[in-house]
Structure 1
Amino acid sequence: MTRENTTLLDKSAVLLISGGAKGITSQCAIKIAENAHCRFILVGRSSILEPEPDWADGSISSEELQNNALKYFKNRGEKITPKALQKEIKNVLSSREISSTLQEIEKHGGEAVYISADVTNEKTLIPQVQSAVNKFGPITGVIHGAGNLADKLIENKTSRDFDLVVNTKIKGLKNIIQAVNPETLKFLVLFSSVAGFFGNTGQSDYAIANEILNKSAYILQESLPDCRVISINWGPWDSGMVSPELKKVFKERNIQLISTEFGVEALITELTCAKQNTPQIVIGGPINTNIEFKPFCSNEITICRRLNLRNNPFLNDHRIGSQAVLPATCASAWLADTCESLNPGFSFIHMEDFKVLKGIIFDNNAHDYELELKLLSETQDSEKVYEAIVTSQNGNNRKLFHYSGQITLAKELLTPHKHQSIQELNLDSSKYIKGIDFYQNGTLFQGPSFQGIQELLLLNEDSVITKVSLPKMEPINQGQFPARTINPYINDAIIQSLLLWTQKFYDAPCLPSRMHQWDQYRMIPFGISIWAILNITYHNDHAVVGNILVQDEEGGEFLNFIGIEGTISKHLKRFIGNKDS
């Protein structure tokens, strides 16, 4: 059964977040408040100091707090140890961070209450949670983000270290579940770690705790069928419990940290996309680079996926006539994203011979598709090449072929080339045409989600140059095709230059049907301007072929589409064409 994604996060939601007033979980809470304007019950061990100590008044930085505290205790004739002094300062900074989180949640349209309680102590946790429920209403979602570290080699660990790390995760989860009514829960998110999935030196207890969370997610999903349960195995964040010293270690190991912005967006995506059947996902690669990870033993794998119109709102902006059609750019991203997800630590860099064999058209029903992957080659574990094909079965059990391509992954991204800047092209700006004109007059059929052409800079028999940009697209609208390493929505806007060219010189629309080569150097995010330079290499009454270079204003390369083909069809003029002509 597929759940309507809007039911998980909306204004009526009441979320309990452990560890939610500080660090990365606080940033997640603030972002959810911005999206859903809901209510939060934040749980943490720290206390809010009301009022703050006199010596903290007017002090901002840790250095100021330390100097003022030393003066205060000295004037009172009291001696304070360095350890006790640091504890006093930490309490003040912690209190301020909690208060700031509460203020930011309210600022972004939410409402929050903070509970000072240890999640491992049910006697203090459960009554306070119940009191908050009396105020806000039943809890509809839980994010269990509380955690502790005690990193040491196993022979140096104490039982106290083990209990501190494991109990916060496991006993904390048990107590949280006891504190809420399972019948009102719509989602339960567990913040696990790649340490549990891959292991890591010095973190045997942390790995155990997180792997128990992972297995708990599978059990809880079975016992709570109407609740979305997911254990997210995070890699190291560029914040939270990652100290500057640890960041240095990760840099030396060439381990990429998860930015706060990316991590928060990934969480929002999981909570707003269609309900999946996988209670565990991994976001990040091994922390210990000496570990060799083999995601699956076989060189061939088939992944089943169910698609429908309801869970992909963007499709309503990609209709040809009355039919919602999956953009070819979403299909190509599907192939590449799946290969990436199976190979942590690898990134998409290249695709060859992508073909649209039979496009996917959506109706009001859900349909099942299979993505068949075959590992063709592997070069010293630094590059992998996959053959991919998407198929389905029709009503007569006949196999249908939809898309195919060859995907290359690598541990290192391609080095981008430098090209002429836009200014160096010496274009006549007086002849620029606003992109919105082509969407409004029907030359381009795409709706708002794909209306990325901002300006047409050049259109002649040999070339098309467009300025492309799309505003940030809400994850809920991206549905089952979120922009990750590849942004299929901007890529579609880039390829629209082919359609502009055929409309001009053949008075007929075209649809992308094949791409001989695609080199990707860096992702194109929402909210920035890029320039797409199409050079036509071949054309006749039935097809057009060209190369598209995508760059920034200074000439820095994002990607290159080589040998991209469009099928020209006069029949499509019934649905696509300039209504003013």
Structure 2
Amino acid sequence: MTVERSLEALAGDPIIGDHVIGDAAVLPAAVALGWAIGAAERTTGEEVGRVRDFTVQKGIVFDGTEPARISLTLTPSGDTLGAAIRSTGADGGPRPHYGAVVETGAAADAPAVAGLPAAGTGRDAGFLYADGTLFHGPSLRGVRRILAEAESRLVLEASLAEHRPDGGAYGGSRYAPGTADLLLQAGLVWVKLFRGTSGLPLSVGRADLHHPLPDGEPFLIVVEPTAAGNGTSSSLTITACAPDGRVLTRFDNVSVVSAPQLAAKFATRNGTSG
């Protein structure tokens, strides 16, 4: 099944307007992932509990060259659905943008995360949006506090009023794109604090959707390295949980690619020099 959507309505949404790198808005990876989840739920009538092998192949940049329409093709394969988001290139051929494998059915609860610091402790994280660590505009600024700050385990407190672009088309019963974007933001914070560089998330090995993230209420995000990395990329496990440690959403094997050339663009977005 193929679903086609116009980008016109999405282009005017705050989730795009507040996701600007340098001079151009960029479609958040969390929005593309949410479209695959939402389309699979509407097609099958079942909840999505897991997504595997999500990749950014060619991000969509709203700089005047973006496609007018994008398509999402769902292809059944056993108990999964392959999802391919594409547009049509100038030569009339398909242009791949994002890919994923979607699994329906509830995800079993994961063991609670132990040893978490209390919400409201640590230090204010507002500086992350001012010093070029994060480039996100006001409606996406949901990282509130740094509660624990070790390379082996970074713990952040977050809260964000949820985005529902296009009437919820880019989300599912256990997934909404704005709060999910905070997990990817947390990965960028880890890379800046412990690798000293800017970066972009390019893939998620597995996303387990246990419970919806809270809309406008505090939750915690735990970032832990899963591999040593190769100098240009970092592999992270990023877990969103309730203050009592109950796991809500977990992204495993998140690949964040170092991109030092983006530092100036991140800083420019937030009005700082750099």
- Name the TM-score, length of structure 1 as normaliser: 0.43
Higher helix share: 1
Change in CA separation of 1:556 and 1:375 when aligned onto 2, cut-off 3 Å: same
Name the counterpart of 1:500: 189
- Asked if structure 1 preserves the Cα contact closer than 8 Å seen for 2:82 and 2:101, the reply is yes
Following the alignment from structure 1 to structure 2, what is the Cα–Cα distance between the partners of residues 580 and 367? 34
Following the alignment from structure 2 to structure 1, what is the Cα–Cα distance between the partners of residues 134 and 213? 22
The one-letter code of the counterpart of 1:460 is A
Match of 2:57 among 324, 339, 357: 357
How many pairs are equivalent? 266
The one-letter code of the counterpart of 2:110 is H
Determine if the alignment matches structure 1 residue 386 to structure 2 residue 87.
Answer: no
Following the alignment from structure 1 to structure 2, what is the Cα–Cα distance between the partners of residues 425 and 334? 32
Larger-gyration structure (1/2): 1
- Asked if structure 1 preserves the Cα contact closer than 8 Å seen for 2:37 and 2:171, the reply is no
Name the counterpart of 2:107: 414
CA-atom RMSD in angstroms: 2.3
Q: Where do residues 271-286 of structure 1 align in structure 2 (5 Å cutoff)?
A: none
Match of 2:218 among 520, 529, 536: 529
Higher strand share: 2
Name the counterpart of 2:73: 372
Match of 2:134 among 444, 460, 469: 444
The one-letter code of the counterpart of 1:534 is V
Name the counterpart of 2:265: 575
Name the counterpart of 2:179: 490
Determine if the alignment matches structure 1 residue 515 to structure 2 residue 204.
Answer: yes
Determine if the alignment matches structure 1 residue 404 to structure 2 residue 104.
Answer: no
Report the CA distance between 1:563 and its aligned residue: 0.6
Change in CA separation of 1:428 and 1:404 when aligned onto 2, cut-off 3 Å: closer
Structure 2: unaligned runs, 5 residues or longer: none
Q: Where do residues 132-281 of structure 1 align in structure 2 (5 Å cutoff)?
A: none
Report the CA distance between 1:523 and its aligned residue: 1.1
Change in CA separation of 1:472 and 1:573 when aligned onto 2, cut-off 3 Å: closer
Change in CA separation of 1:358 and 1:548 when aligned onto 2, cut-off 3 Å: same
Determine if the alignment matches structure 1 residue 453 to structure 2 residue 176.
Answer: no
Following the alignment from structure 1 to structure 2, what is the Cα–Cα distance between the partners of residues 370 and 483? 16
Following the alignment from structure 1 to structure 2, what is the Cα–Cα distance between the partners of residues 396 and 450? 36
Report the CA distance between 1:359 and its aligned residue: 0.5
The one-letter code of the counterpart of 2:139 is S
Change in CA separation of 1:549 and 1:435 when aligned onto 2, cut-off 3 Å: same
**Structure 1 residues 430-466: Cα deviation after superposition (integer angstroms, max 9, x where no partner):** 6x22122211232210112211111111222222111
Change in CA separation of 1:428 and 1:555 when aligned onto 2, cut-off 3 Å: closer
Q: Where do residues 421-436 of structure 1 align in structure 2 (5 Å cutoff)?
A: 421=114, 424-425=115-116, 432-436=122-126
Following the alignment from structure 2 to structure 1, what is the Cα–Cα distance between the partners of residues 83 and 214? 25
Structure of higher RCO (CA pairs closer than 8 Å, 6+ residues apart)? 2
Following the alignment from structure 2 to structure 1, what is the Cα–Cα distance between the partners of residues 41 and 119? 42
Following the alignment from structure 1 to structure 2, what is the Cα–Cα distance between the partners of residues 407 and 428? 33
The one-letter code of the counterpart of 1:570 is P
Match of 2:243 among 535, 553, 568: 553
Following the alignment from structure 2 to structure 1, what is the Cα–Cα distance between the partners of residues 13 and 38? 17
Following the alignment from structure 1 to structure 2, what is the Cα–Cα distance between the partners of residues 429 and 484? 30
Report the CA distance between 1:429 and its aligned residue: 7.4
Change in CA separation of 1:376 and 1:498 when aligned onto 2, cut-off 3 Å: same
The one-letter code of the counterpart of 1:425 is L
Following the alignment from structure 2 to structure 1, what is the Cα–Cα distance between the partners of residues 177 and 100? 16
Report the CA distance between 1:416 and its aligned residue: 1.6
The one-letter code of the counterpart of 1:563 is N
Following the alignment from structure 2 to structure 1, what is the Cα–Cα distance between the partners of residues 36 and 55? 12
Q: Where do residues 86-97 of structure 1 align in structure 2 (5 Å cutoff)?
A: none
The one-letter code of the counterpart of 1:553 is P
Following the alignment from structure 1 to structure 2, what is the Cα–Cα distance between the partners of residues 366 and 400? 10
**Structure 1 residues 191-241: Cα deviation after superposition (integer angstroms, max 9, x where no partner):** xxxxxxxxxxxxxxxxxxxxxxxxxxxxxxxxxxxxxxxxxxxxxxxxxxx
Structure 1: unaligned runs, 5 residues or longer: 1-300, 378-383
The one-letter code of the counterpart of 1:361 is V
- Name the TM-score, length of structure 2 as normaliser: 0.89
How much identity, in percent, do the aligned residues show? 24
Match of 2:161 among 464, 471, 480: 471
Q: Residue 217 of structure 2: SS of its match in structure 1?
A: coil
Following the alignment from structure 1 to structure 2, what is the Cα–Cα distance between the partners of residues 550 and 341? 25
The one-letter code of the counterpart of 1:405 is A
The one-letter code of the counterpart of 1:434 is D
Q: Where do residues 44-59 of structure 1 align in structure 2 (5 Å cutoff)?
A: none
Change in CA separation of 1:366 and 1:354 when aligned onto 2, cut-off 3 Å: closer
- Asked if structure 1 preserves the Cα contact closer than 8 Å seen for 2:38 and 2:171, the reply is no
Determine if the alignment matches structure 1 residue 303 to structure 2 residue 41.
Answer: no
Following the alignment from structure 1 to structure 2, what is the Cα–Cα distance between the partners of residues 371 and 516? 20
**Structure 1 residues 243-277: Cα deviation after superposition (integer angstroms, max 9, x where no partner):** xxxxxxxxxxxxxxxxxxxxxxxxxxxxxxxxxxx
